[in-house]
Structure 1
């Protein structure tokens, strides 16, 4: 079975409806960048650890088993892309998920991946 149409036919109304719901190029590019960041298991572990609440770099290194240097580097990337936010308290830097959208994305993704794989008949 091939993943293409056997007969080429375009459905103008369906195409127009899909085009109307398409986000701006900036939103598409930003979303692709966020998924690229989530594609790294180390960065993903950091975000998953932060679902429970705010943690400092030392805590995140202990939770994930990564070096503090690696954690700091990853957090800089995640902060630049609005996945996490930071605050300083004395000599420590604390991180949290940027907002509820990131938490929802993580929750949906882990729920989806935890489901049994369906085998659809073609």
Structure 2
């Protein structure tokens, strides 16, 4: 960091810091948000979420669509499921996955807009 980026006068506005501190979220909230972004920081999980945004799919369909092994898809779905991002239902011998809610796709759409 260069000298021009550092305050020359050490003057603390305690009232302002107290106001900002009251408006900030709890440590637990920041940890949960960081956990969410870490989960979304994986290329393949983003692709799975994107596919499930459009249709309920089984592992074999996701595997073909995304050109990934079924074991890789299953692993990623397990992570998404354990974080309540996807849900599943069984029909006969097949298991179909879908998004648990559409809030996650709104966040991804916002990220796309941010990148433009």
What TM-score do you get using the length of structure 1 for normalisation? 0.78
1:48-99 C-alpha deviation (Å, 9 max, x unpaired): 1112132111121122111110000011001111221222222111111221
Aligned mates of 1:4, 1:91 — CA distance in 2: 62
List alignment gaps of at least 5 residues for structure 1: 116-122
- The runs of at least 4 consecutive aligned structure 1 residues that moved more than 6 Å come to none
**SS of structure 1 residue aligned to 2:6:** coil
Gaps of 5+ in 2: none
Q: Once superposed, what is the RMSD of the aligned Cα atoms?
A: 2.1
Q: Take 1:55 and 1:30, find their aligned partners in 2: how far apart are those partners? A: 28
For residues 14-67 of structure 1, the C-alpha deviation after alignment (integer angstroms, 9 at most, x for no partner) is: 433332232232222121111111111111111111121321111211221111
- TM-score by length of structure 2 reads 0.82
SS in 2 for 1:23: coil
Q: Could you say which structure has the larger radius of gyration?
A: 2
